[in-house]
Amino acid sequence: MVSAVEIEHLYKDFTLDHTYSIKDSFVNLFRKNKNQKRKFRALDDINLMVEQGESIGLVGLNGSGKSTLLKCISGVQMPDMGSLRVRGSIAGLIEVGAGFHPDLTGEENVFLNGAILGMSKKKIEDNYDDIVKFSEVEDFMQTNVRYYSSGMFLRLAFSVAVYSDPDVFLVDEILSVGDAPFRKKCMKRIHELKEDGRTLIIVSHSQSDIKEVTKRCVWLHKGKVMQSGETVSVLDAMNAYTKN
């Protein structure tokens, strides 16, 4: 049994006080504890092991830390404390449009994103037609992506991520901006990745999607793991807890 992701005692803090204006800075001068920025603990002692080939779900209310955890796993954000280890290549859909440059065309962004995900130029060229076909935005490949709708962004981003052939695939809630036929197509692709032995970590507020894809899930609440285990029982516990 080899683990794909190993997380031990991981903490992530954010600073809550941001100074935006001259007025704020001036007021700050007269504050007693002006150097004490308020800290907010977004992830609080997270321990998580994901086996190679396992699919797990991350669930929890808005602001519970799910996206922050995915960003730490993908390396977009650095944890403040703790250890985190990922085996193999990693790709994911964490924020719509992340890694896309608005002033480049769809085609240029496929090459940019592919490179960011570690694909060689040849691999991108070999897969280009399939990437575009899967995304169904063929007609807009020469358009700057600043004019893309959020669904179009998602389509292209998902296609590049999938064709980068990652060992560990991360999917955040963003699938929800896709229309029903595209969501269906993405879910089918996710199942194929799963069957192919890839590791999946999926964040979703759609409990049916979580049940469909995962056997095990982790419930985050205010940055802490409330419960982790068999998907149906974790979802039942979460639903009972959040009902009132």
Ligand X SMILES: Nc1ncnc2c1ncn2[C@@H]1O[C@H](COP(=O)(O)OP(=O)(O)OP(=O)(O)O)[C@@H](O)[C@H]1O
- Of the candidate residues 35, 62, 208, 244, the single one contacting ligand X (CB under 6 A): 62
* 63 vs 118, beta carbon nearer ligand X: 63
Nearest to 193 by CA among 88, 63, 42: 88
Question: What angle separates helix 121-135 from helix 150-163, to the nearest 10 degrees?
Answer: 140
Interacting stretch for ligand X, rule CB under 6 A, among 21-29, 56-64, 162-170, 177-185? 56-64
Give CA–CA dist 175/184, Å, rounded: 10
Nearest to 174 by CA among 108, 96, 78, 235: 96
Nearest to 128 by CA among 106, 145, 143, 150: 106
Would you count residue 68 as binding ligand X (CB under 6 A)? yes
Interacting stretch for ligand X, rule CB under 6 A, among 66-74, 89-97, 98-106, 191-199? 66-74
User: Least distance to ligand X from the beta carbon of 200, Å?
Assistant: 17
* 15 vs 142, beta carbon nearer ligand X: 15
What does 68 bind: ligand X, Mg ion, none (CB cut-off 5 to 8 Å by kind)? ligand X
* 145 vs 170, beta carbon nearer Mg ion: 170
Give CA–CA dist 218/58, Å, rounded: 5
Using CB under 5 A as the criterion, which residues of the chain lie in contact with Mg ion when the complex forms? 67
- Of the candidate residues 73, 173, 231, 238, the single one contacting ligand X (CB under 6 A): 173
Measured at CB, which residue is nearest to Mg ion?
Answer: 67
What does 60 bind: ligand X, Mg ion, none (CB cut-off 5 to 8 Å by kind)? ligand X
Would you count residue 198 as binding ligand X (CB under 6 A)? no
Question: What angle separates helix 180-195 from helix 150-163, to the nearest 10 degrees?
Answer: 20
User: Least distance to ligand X from the beta carbon of 127, Å?
Assistant: 30
Give CA–CA dist 79/219, Å, rounded: 19
Q: Which residues are paired to 59 by β-bridges? A: 219
